[in-house]
Amino acid sequence: MKKINFIGRYTAIFLSVLLLGTAITSCKEDDKDVVKPKTITDVILTNSQFSILKEVIIKGDLTDEFRSENITIFAPSDAAFKLSNITSAMVTADRDSARAFVYRHVLKDKLTYDQIKKDKLGNNLTFDGKGVINIKKSPTADSLLIINGLASVVTKNVNADNGMIQVVNRVLDKIK
């Protein structure tokens, strides 16, 4: 009787320790298991439709800045650069020209397409005074916005942790 009771107690203790050990080791977070936040920089750097914009942002040394700021960027896709007859070489001559080009596509604050349409129409908007963006309603389609008289948004509200990306069909600035 004592032998059975002795085995039962040690079996219970062994199972308890095993269960506790399993619970502790299975609750560890592994870096590869954690979903990292996607910033505007991360979205642009990993999306193949923004390869030219990626070059410009890297040349302008803006990757860290666009990871921390709360912004809205009117991001021209590669097709928008092509439609506007602009190559990356035309805007990446030096760091300052690349920065100026990108800033002409950025608004302070995280704004959805509907917020822009509701609150920002007819205004000349800037990102800390580094380029002007003018937004108007299209004369032909009430739901369409025309930015700087050149572009319209083709993909609305690409969400990132630190802002919003509005993909546009043309570059917002004429390059001479």
pLDDT in tens, 35-68: 567 999 999 999 999 999 999 999 999 988 888 8
Q: Which residue has the higher pLDDT, 26 or 11?
A: 11
Say what the pTM is.
0.74
Q: Is residue 77 scored above 90 in pLDDT? A: yes
The per-residue pLDDT for range 145-174, each reduced to its tens digit, is: 888 888 889 999 999 999 999 999 999 876
Lookup: tokens for 138? 């299209």
Question: What is the CB-side half-sphere exposure of residue 75 using CA atoms within 13 A?
Answer: 33
Distance CA 168, CA 175 (A): 16
pLDDT value, residue 48: 94
Q: Which residue has the higher pLDDT, 73 or 16?
A: 73
Query: Does the 33-168 domain belong in CATH 3.90.660.10?
Result: no
Question: What is the CB-side half-sphere exposure of residue 64 using CA atoms within 13 A?
Answer: 1
Average pLDDT of the chain, as a whole number: 82
Distance CA 135, CA 117 (A): 8
pLDDT value, residue 107: 86
Classify residue 95 as left (phi > 0), alpha (psi -120 to 50) or beta.
alpha
First to last CA, the chain: 97
pLDDT value, residue 13: 79
In this prediction, residue 123 has a pLDDT band, given cuts at 50, 70 and 90, of low
Give me the percent of the chain exceeding a pLDDT of 90. Answer: 31
Using a 10 angstrom Cβ sphere, with 0-12 exposed, 13-18 middle and 19 or more buried, the burial of residue 25 is: exposed
Q: Is residue 126 scored above 90 in pLDDT? A: no
